[in-house]
Chains A and B, each alone.
Chain A
Amino acid sequence: MSEQHRDGTRASLLDEYEVNSKTLEDIGVEILPVNTGKTVHAKRIPGHYRTLKWIAASVWLTLFFGPYLRWNGHQAILWDLPNRQFHFFGITILPQDIWVLAMILLFFALLLAAVTAIAGRVWCGYFCFHTVWTDVFTWLEEKFEGPPAKRIKLDQQPLNWEKIKVKLPKHLVWLLIGFATSFSFLAFFTDSFDLWKRLFHLDLGKWEWLTLIGLGLATYFFAGFMREQVCIGFCPYARIQGAMIDEATIVPTYDKDRGEPRAQMKERNAYVRKLLQQYKAKGEEEKLMEQFLAEGMDERAAKKKVQETLRQRANEEADHHFGDCIDCHLCVDVCPTGVDIRLGQQFGCITCGLCIDACDSIMEKIKKPKGLIRYASLDDFLGKETPKWYKRPRVLIYITVMTIAAGLLLWKLTHLSPIDVKALHDRAPLFVQMSDGTIQNKYTVKIVNKTPNKMMAKITVEGPKGLVFLTDRVVPVEPGTVGQAIVRVRLPKSALKNGRAPIRIIVQDQNHPEIRTTYESVFIGPKR
């Protein structure tokens, strides 16, 4: 705790700093640079993580092909908003069961948290639609405009016909992808084939046009122009995930101990040359020559061996003097968000692993072990034992909630009732005495038909002996709608215990007798 001032106020830790404005920089927090300026033109090189990224990205192909899947003559995945229905293959979810959707959201939210706690921003790096679309867009850019150096040059050129000729095809293809994206999105909400037909007849609704054009242009704009600025500037998930990372989370990290002090090959070679001269000056050459001759080598072989030995020694010494990083800048060049991973983990980093690919390719060339940049946790670098992921409490808690959500979801989907019945007990009057002395209760029975077929719902009521019920015996209910019937139930006073009696309202579909459900309700009468 801080000590007291003479005037009674407490001293602040910040009093030690002699500044008037205490921004983060002033109190010693290092702010890492992020690219907010010119376009990042990242190099593309093949590698392990590059392949992984393509595989992960291919998950999004389902967006484009999903709407054309068919199931029993219907679109397999369809958000039918006008009819308030969600079709997923054989399953139809009505608003009554919409909590299933909440479970799906909960599951994926916790999946995001768990994966992020284990391996950092996996979502950002491999799966996020923005990352994937940007990746595809820049891949196309390279196909049309060539490697980064050429593109940067092209960008600097004044706008002329030549430039337009190179740039135009790219923008057209980008717009095409934007259209494909928004159209596919739209096709999940309405029949896809019908949508194509209506599109060619220019017969879409106001909101359909708006979605098609708005989302298409947004795709073009965000993936084509905003790119890494979305991740850096306004994606909230980037920040949320940053907060989920802890000391045991593995993220792409530069091994500073091994890499520093960094030196380019030029500098390294100069150092080796300097060492060789030093050896010469010290007379090392003659010493070794004598030794080899004494071992019985001929003069030529010995001379060659001396050079080799000294060079090897100089190289070893240089390796000892410098770190493994040769400062080739490739890790920065390949980064799609333009960060320098060597500065440490930072919020511009989407943990896509492309810098690992880049560095490993260089390490291979200079014959050093791979993994100067690698997936590792802070604890690994501090030499602490990292617990296995399944032993970390936060991961376990995430997984527990995920399991509950998935369990509820599975239970609901396997027990999805084709019919839903609710009975509302009339309150005014709660009960009525009839002329024959029996008590009558009135119920409004609501029947939800979740099947694709018309239902002929037959209502029966079971309860204590002497129960009589009056109702429209059969209620027709159209698919996906709610049918309603008034049921009047009569019981003799003697059947009531303490003014109540349990009753069961049974609804059965006469078209499909296996569809049957029971609603437990209570019959209310006078207490005496």
Chain B
Amino acid sequence: MSLAVDAPSVHAPPMDRRVQARRLTVALSLLLAVTSVFSLAWGASGTSLWAAMADLAAGRELSRLDRIVLFDIRLPRLCLGILVGASLAASGAVMQGLFRNPLADPGLIGVSAGAGLAAITAIVLGAMLPPAIRELTGNYLVPISAFFGGWGSTLVLYRVATRHGQTSVATMLLAGIALGALAGALSGILVYMADDSQLRDLTFWGMGSLAGATWAKVMAATPIILAALAVTPFLARGLNGLALGEAAAGHIGISVQLIKNTSILAVAAATGAAVAVSGGIGFIGIVVPHLLRLATGPDHHSLLPNAALLGATLLLAADMIARVIIAPAELPIGIVTAVLGAPVFLWILLKRRGALGL
């Protein structure tokens, strides 16, 4: 009798996680839209989004204050939050696929630190560059340096941690700590050299913040992050194949070297740009892909876009918390993501200790 009860479930039509993942994409898009509206409505000043929208709908002029608060403070901050959240989560997912490891995260293994060091270098020593170069790079000097910083640290890390196509978890995490410490020390020297106004620019790096959002920063980060995100769909098949190991990925027809190089460039670009405009915001890149893998599985075709959507949503939510929890003052958002993300990281570690070979 009990066999007869069990039988139907064995031959049930295959539940296809791809369908669930597509539904999740729609749901996450809606969630991001709703969160964006709340993010615009939410803030320390008395400006009301709803009143402003009613005014606009009725064809009335907005007050100068409302215009500034909505269009020059909250809207760029919203855009920056979406860009940074999406790029941190998608970079995390790509990097985890590349390293074949759910704990690889640009923030944890020193890539953000490398990007941060390069950004700080650009802020402090940028004035020493020949005017021609400064003219050429303009607003982009800091993001571009951050990109090269992130790229360099990813390359070093991959070299150190990968032998014969296998990436060692322990080596990767330890090498990441060493890289992070080195970048931190060098950044410290630069901070020591910085003058007062540079120091103010640098203060938010340590903890990460969206508070300094301006249209200039949004404009500087947008092309780099959008380009990196646009590449990720082309990585999905390769990263799925890499889950089998480098050799097996090659045997199913994947150009492994091309996938690796493209992934590293995309991660460096997205992380570099995100770090350049918002400092080091941790744990988004590790928590978001992990939650999505639990929900709909590790297929990168859906994981990468869904990670971008959920990352953006979570960062906006964290930013709202950061804005109101000690209002009228503001908490750096990096503190919020760390407080929420670190326990999740520990939970992953405990649950998967055996599987990770640690």
A and B together in one complex: no
Interface residues of A, Cβ cutoff 8 Å to B: none
Q: Could you list which residues of chain B lie within 8 angstroms of chain A, going by C-beta atoms?
A: none
